[in-house]
Amino acid sequence: MGTDLNAPLGQNRKAAAGRARLATLTPARIAGGVVAAFVLGLSLWTALAPQGPFKEPESAASQTAETGSGAQAALDAAAPAAGTDTPAQAGIRREKGRSGARIEETRTADGSIVRKFSPASRDGGGPVILDAARIGQDPRSAAFPNDDLIEVTAFGKLPVIGPDGLRPLEQYARPWSGTRGTRIAIVVGGLGLSQTGTQRAIRTLPGEVTLAFASTGNSLARWMQEARRNGHEILLQLPLEPFDDLENDPGPDTLRAGFDAKKNLDLLHRAMAKITNYTGVMNFMGGKFLSSADALEPVLRDVSGRGLLFLDDSSSAQSLSGTIAGALEMPHAFADLQLDATLSREAILRKLDELERVARRNGTAIGVASAFDESVQAIADWIQEASQRGIEIVGVAALADLDPKR
């Protein structure tokens, strides 16, 4: 014994006896074995039992996914409940973009889940904070339409209000500062009619300028994408019947006062399907059409129902667009000045200075021009100087009467 205990560990150890000796069993050793067996058994039961005492219950989101119910909760699981007061701001409701939609969910025979979205009005009074990410479009994807705002028809893809109430007018509007300083919107139209003129306008004009594409133009989808990538808000120009049709023909597919509502709506939808990502429509000519309530009302009603604005270029003193748009409570606006009625740089610059005076007097102003080389260059040069005088150039959607009750 003494030799074994004092020898270095693992060295000079004597070989074990041929027959192993059983260790002496003592009460302490028996008690230790019982405790070890109990702990081992408890660990195995805890790991294997489906609902062990130390397991957390499944989350509500997991249970919702398994049962296929509560689609709204699944969509907004990461956000505060819609329509509830925040602790720090009692009386103010914070809502997600989808909180204005009814969502019905059905599980089919093969286990798939089909969700149906339908618009619903938001209840309750007081201020509401909406998810700002739903307003406007990420510049990286501005050239592509929001699929929720597209209706596929026999004419092609038409704009439509989304299932959560989001309008194309809001999605595709150019962001602005939100301040109430002097604001001017400049709309340059006729894009798509001339390839070189269209390219020059898109590349020369700053992104703050709104571009209007003629529905009778060429390669509109390509030009629309380039304009959106360059930051422009865009409109669609509709050919409407003028009084002097023989001298000023707006071109094929012109909406006319003598057509019935169905034919005009078919022509409207054919034009609207030429491009996407626009905030509204404006007239191209149209003195006679704009003065006919019977012809104009169905068209504006359809435009309004699709979440778009209407811009009247103010070329016709007999236009009824303001009266009808007001009755429909649709967003609309009027141009204050035609900037290039006289096609010279000096005349255009004088008109732009006049537009600035109107804006300083009224707070806002809208000018319209065509995509002539003289107009494009004069507008681009003037905007550089105007920004130094505290003028903010905004998209036309920022100046439309967005809230009809204001």
pLDDT tens-digit map of 157-179: 999 999 999 999 999 999 998 88
CA separation for the pair 37, 50 (Å, rounded):
22
Do the strands 337-338 and 156-159 form a parallel or antiparallel pair, or are they unpaired? unpaired
Q: Which residues contact 198 (CB under 8 A, 6 or more apart)?
A: 191, 192, 217, 223, 371
Task: Note whether 273 and 244 are within 8 A (CB).
Answer: no
pLDDT one-digit tens code per residue, 87-97:
334 444 444 44
- Read off the tokens for 203: 């590349």
Closest to 354 measured CA to CA, from 341, 376, 339: 339
pLDDT for 17: 43
Report the chain's terminal Cα–Cα distance, integer Å. Answer: 104
Q: Which residues contact 406 (CB under 8 A, 6 or more apart)?
A: none
Domains in the chain (CATH in brackets) are 72-134 (no CATH), 147-398 (3.20.20.370)
User: pLDDT tens string for the chain (406 positions)?
Assistant: 444 444 443 344 444 444 444 445 566 666 666 666 666 666 665 555 544 444 444 443 333 333 334 444 433 443 434 333 333 344 444 444 444 556 676 777 666 666 566 666 655 565 554 444 445 667 778 889 999 999 999 999 999 999 999 999 999 999 998 888 899 999 999 999 999 999 999 999 999 999 999 999 999 999 999 999 999 999 999 999 999 876 777 778 999 999 999 999 999 999 999 999 999 999 999 999 999 999 999 999 999 999 999 999 999 999 999 999 999 999 999 999 999 999 999 999 999 999 999 999 999 999 999 999 999 999 999 999 998 899 999 999 999 975 433 3
Q: Please give the backbone phi and psi of residue 398, each rounded to the nearest 5 degrees, phi first.
A: -70, -20
CA separation for the pair 183, 363 (Å, rounded):
6
Burial code of 280-296, b = ≥16 C-beta within 10 A, e = fewer? bbbbbbbbbbbbbeebb
Q: Which residues contact 405 (CB under 8 A, 6 or more apart)?
A: 329
- Read off the tokens for 401: 């009467």
CA separation for the pair 57, 255 (Å, rounded):
64
C-alpha dist (Å) from residue 390 to 113, 323, 383, 397:
54, 33, 11, 20
